[in-house]
């Protein structure tokens, strides 16, 4: 077992606290939507005594009472923390959403945790397990994060625990299937009316003991001889798997020589192998039976977490620098060290304001102290870089809708911090006299656009503040004020993410918005040389308006922009009005000449004109320049240019064909493929951006949830004539 230390609950309503890092276990629950993560958290909390028999905390709320959106949508949409105490340890359970649109919340949970529980439903198809969890498993493996697997929904008819553990061994133990093995096997009760015998207990493969949960309270007993025979094969394989990962190199020889290895040695080696991420046990768990207090397998799971998962001392903290990028020595998980903490989640509470969930990596965070808050690197998503001093409000530990006060938060622990007005998700908290910055964690790029408009004038006044608060909460959300299309665009991870964004704007910040079609920033250019004459002559009493200019227009290579050349001779256009002509030409080019899109890649040459000694003016020549450009456009074909993106799609090898076919159907040009590790390929293509507005959704369907892609702007290219004509027709209807 790990080094146990004291964890205590404060006075009535106080939070569970830890006095040293070795008494803390930070565990993130990962799994597909519907796999039972939140139900498992509640079952563990009930077994640990944090809930009453009805699964409620003192005020009648449940630990899953986090967000009104979650209640309405019947799914988790954000990271939630539930701290429980067990056998002298404080266990911080981090419940993450299982839906792909909220992978940012999952990444935050992985950052805050030291170990991961992969929750797999026995009712799921094997393909669903593979698609939803394999990539996250590989991410954890890349950083050496300890992992275990928990099988839920064993009470579902026609479930097969042994078959599912074999699937997990093949999926998660590709390099070593014997490193993914069950520690317990379910014990089935009598068949019910549906002919299905539900699990009522577990038999320990190492201890050879039966743990009966049929009454809702765990009871232990020895198996009979027939029971030992049934588990003999699975027990032998488990022992061999543990010994293969043992740090004692003599153990395998002793075992193969016929020596019976005692259970204590096996358990010690098992816990060490789990803690260093070399062995991944499979367990089963379920909520307590009616009236019970202990759910199936919950005691065993809590024992694994406290004994097999590492303390924060065994997890290397992220790298730190000064806010200006100068290197600093690595920090350690020491409550007496320099303060280094990270905001892993930001939420808005209607009563307290902004609340930040913080993981402390070094030092000790205390209420009412002044700290330094640094945030860099996400300016492109609407997050301003900042280095500010702020005063910490109260420290609390969440439990459902309750916030229980904490006296302090030591290195390795998590807490909620109030009143950090400038702090955002991903920011670093450090001492004000020694400011530091933590290396940011990887964030998925939001690639699904949502264009919004304020519903009314009152909403328009509140929109800016509401959007700023949304972006502060969610680093996977990117806010764009598109200068070309004049649209406010929220870039999201998927449709469910869009729904949550809109609902938070309306419900949390009182801003009614309308979703409008997203406009791709098209361009216009001349298809050949042309000429135009702009004549602006008006006489209506007093000073009139007089300006005439003649221009030549010719197309330029892509990316040239607009060139203006003055070739006027003899003072036909006075020198002071030549900049006016250019200004008028450029203003008209920005408005477009065919379908209302900016005109680019042309050279405009002013060759002649006329002026009046009294009636000519700056405004008159601006108008004449614009009229000349419009007349030139009417005499030549104007091409519409569409943006083309360079797209890189990462998918398992089995989906390369469908992905390439799908890209070709979007007018894409596949330019190559590259291997990206075992079993994965990167497909590179150039695709018109108008064809990939919903690609973030469509790729999930094509790749069964396993693909992801990046896109970067490449250039603008002429749009096919039949599509360009449709755009012009639509522009004419909207004019």
pLDDT, tens digit, 9 for 90 and up, residues 558-613: 989 999 999 999 889 999 999 999 999 999 999 999 888 999 999 999 999 999 98
pLDDT of residue 33: 82
pLDDT class of 8 with cuts at 50, 70, 90: very low
Q: How many CA atoms lie within 13 A of 256 on its CB side?
A: 8
User: Average pLDDT of 663-672?
Assistant: 96
What is 640-734's CATH topology?
A: Alpha-Beta Plaits (3.30.70)
Question: pLDDT tens-digit profile of 132-164?
Answer: 677 788 888 888 899 999 999 887 756 788 888
Phi first, then psi, for residue 220 (nearest 5°) are -110, 140
Domain 448-516 has CATH 3.20.20.120: no
Cβ-proximal residues to 154 (8 Å cutoff; 6+ apart), any chain: 122, 161, 186, 198, 199, 284, 286, 296
Percent share of the chain, pLDDT over 70:
89
Average pLDDT over residues 633-651: 95
Is the Cβ–Cβ distance between 425 and 344 less than 8 Å?
Answer: yes
Residue 12: its pLDDT value, please?
34
Task: Tell me how far apart the alpha carbons of residues 358 and 356 are, in angstroms, rounded to a whole number.
Answer: 6
What is the SS3 assignment for 537?
Answer: strand
Helix axes 298-308, 37-47, angle to 10 degrees: 90
Whole-angstrom Cα distance, residue 504 to residue 508? 5
The predicted pLDDT at position 312 comes to: 96
pLDDT at 403 over 90: no
Percent of the chain with pLDDT over 90: 59
Q: Phi and psi of 579, rounded to 5°? A: -60, -30
Of the two residues 264 and 473, the one the predictor is more confident about is: 264
Position 453 confidence tier, pLDDT thresholds 50, 70, 90: very high
Helix, strand, coil % in the chain, rounded to nearest 5: 30, 30, 40
What's 523-636's CATH class? alpha beta
One fold for 448-516 and 640-734: yes
For the cut 80, the answer to whether the pLDDT of residue 74 exceeds it is no
As a whole number, the mean pLDDT across the chain is 87
- Sequence ranges of the domains in the chain: 27-314, 320-438, 448-516, 523-636, 640-734
3-state secondary structure 395-431: EEEEECCEEEEECCEECCCEEEEECCCCCCCCCEEEE
Supply the CATH classification number for the domain 320-438: 2.40.30.10
509-544 confidence digits (pLDDT tens)? 889 999 999 999 999 999 999 999 999 998 776 678
Angle CA 368–370–372, to nearest 5: 140
* CA dist., res. 345 & res. 441, Å (int): 13
Q: Which residues contact residue 290 at a Cβ distance below 8 angstroms, ignoring those fewer than 6 apart? A: 216
pLDDT at 1 over 50: no
Report the pLDDT value the prediction gives residue 59, as an integer from 0 to 100. 45
Chain segment 344-381, per-residue pLDDT in tens: 998 876 667 788 999 999 999 999 999 999 987 666 66
The dihedral sign for the CA sequence 630, 601, 721, 595: negative
Nearest to 413 by CA among 23, 12, 8, 2: 23
* Rounded Cα–Cα distance for residues 622 and 608 (Å): 15
CATH topology of domain 27-314: Rossmann fold (3.40.50)
pLDDT of residue 378: 66
Residue 193: pLDDT band with limits 50, 70, 90: low
- Chain segment 91-114, per-residue pLDDT in tens: 999 999 988 888 889 999 999 999
Kindly give, in sequence order, each residue whose CB lies less than 8 Å from that of residue 172, ignoring residues fewer than 6 positions away. Answer: 118, 134, 137, 147, 149, 180, 280
With cut-offs at 50, 70 and 90, classify the pLDDT of residue 399.
confident
Residues 202, 187: contact at Cβ < 8 Å?
Answer: yes
Q: Which of 68-72, 246-250, 450-454 has the lowest mean pLDDT?
A: 68-72
Predicted confidence at residue 6, as pLDDT, reads 43
């Amino acid at each position: 077992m790990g080094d146990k230390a004291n964890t205590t609950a404060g006075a009535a309503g106080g939070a569970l606290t830890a006095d040293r890092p070795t008494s803390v276990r930070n565990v993130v629950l990962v799994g597909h939507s519907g796999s039972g993560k939140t139900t498992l958290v509640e079952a563990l909390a009930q077994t640990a005594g944090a809930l009453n028999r009805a699964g409620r905390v003192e005020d009648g709320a449940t630990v899953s009472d986090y967000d009104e959106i979650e209640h309405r949508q019947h799914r988790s949409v954000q990271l939630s923390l539930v701290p429980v105490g067990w056998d002298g340890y404080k266990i911080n359970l981090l419940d993450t959403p299982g839906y792909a649109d909220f992978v940012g919340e999952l990444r935050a949970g992985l950052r805050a945790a030291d170990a991961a529980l992969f929750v797999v439903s026995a009712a799921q198809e094997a393909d669903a397990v593979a698609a939803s969890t394999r990539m996250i498993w590989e991410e954890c493996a890349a950083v050496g994060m300890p992992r275990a697997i928990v099988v839920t929904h064993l009470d579902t008819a026609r479930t097969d625990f042994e078959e599912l553990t074999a699937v997990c061994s093949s999926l998660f133990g590709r390099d070593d299937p014997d490193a993914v093995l069950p520690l317990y096997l379910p014990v089935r009760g009598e068949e019910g009316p549906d002919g299905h015998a539900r699990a009522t207990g577990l038999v320990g493969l190492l201890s050879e003991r039966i743990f009966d949960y049929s009454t809702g309270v765990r009871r232990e007993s020895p198996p009979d001889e027939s029971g030992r025979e049934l588990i003999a094969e699975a027990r032998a394989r488990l022992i061999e798997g543990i010994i293969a990962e043992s740090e004692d190199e003599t153990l395998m020889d002793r075992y193969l020589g016929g020596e019976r290895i005692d259970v204590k040695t096996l358990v010690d080696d098992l816990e060490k192998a789990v803690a260093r991420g070399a062995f991944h046990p499979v367990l089963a768990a379920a909520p307590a039976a009616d009236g019970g207090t202990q759910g199936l397998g919950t005691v065993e799971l809590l024992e694994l977490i406290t004994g097999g998962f590492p303390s924060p001392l065994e997890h290397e903290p992220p790298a730190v620098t000064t806010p200006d990028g100068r290197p600093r020595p690595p920090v350690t998980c020491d409550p007496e060290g320099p303060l280094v903490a990270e905001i892993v989640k930001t939420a808005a509470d209607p009563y307290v304001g902004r609340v930040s969930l913080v993981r402390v990596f070094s030092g000790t965070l205390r209420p009412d102290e002044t700290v330094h808050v640094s945030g860099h690197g996400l300016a492109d998503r609407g997050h301003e870089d900042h280095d500010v001093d702020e005063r910490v409000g109260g420290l609390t530990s969440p439990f459902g809708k309750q916030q229980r006060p904490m006296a302090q938060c030591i290195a390795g622990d998590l807490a909620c911090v109030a009143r950090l007005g400038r702090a955002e998700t991903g920011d670093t908290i450090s001492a004000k006299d020694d400011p530091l910055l933590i290396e940011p964690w990887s964030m998925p790029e939001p690639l699904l656009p949502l264009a919004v408009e304020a519903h009314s004038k009152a909403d328009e006044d509140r929109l800016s503040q509401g959007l700023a608060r949304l972006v502060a909460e969610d680093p996977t959300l990117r806010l764009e004020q598109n200068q070309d299309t004049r649209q406010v665009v929220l870039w999201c991870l998927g449709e469910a993410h869009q729904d949550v964004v809109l609902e938070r704007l309306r419900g949390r910040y009182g801003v009614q918005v309308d979703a409008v079609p997203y406009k791709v920033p098209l361009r216009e250019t001349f298809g050949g040389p042309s000429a135009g004459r702009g004549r602006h002559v008006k006489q209506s009493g007093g000073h009139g308006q007089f300006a005439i200019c003649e221009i030549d227009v010719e197309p330029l290579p892509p990316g040239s922009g607009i060139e203006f050349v003055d070739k006027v001779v003899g003072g036909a256009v006075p020198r002071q009005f030549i900049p006016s002509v250019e200004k008028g030409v450029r203003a008209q080019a920005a408005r477009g000449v065919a379908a209302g899109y900016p005109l680019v890649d042309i050279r405009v040459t002013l060759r002649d004109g006329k002026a009046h000694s009294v009636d000519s003016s700056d405004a008159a020549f601006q108008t004449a320049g614009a009229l000349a450009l419009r007349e030139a456009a009417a005499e030549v074909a104007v091409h519409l240019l569409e943006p083309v993106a360079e797209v890189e799609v990462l998918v398992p090898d089995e989906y390369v064909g469908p992905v390439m076919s799908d890209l070709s159907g979007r007018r894409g040009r596949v330019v190559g493929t590259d291997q990206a590790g075992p079993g994965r390929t990167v497909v590179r293509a150039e695709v018109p951006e108008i064809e990939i507005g919903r690609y973030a959704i469509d790729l999930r369907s094509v790749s069964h949830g396993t693909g992801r892609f990046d896109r970067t702007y490449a250039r603008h290219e002429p749009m096919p004539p039949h599509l360009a004509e449709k755009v012009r027709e639509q522009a004419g209807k909207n004019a």
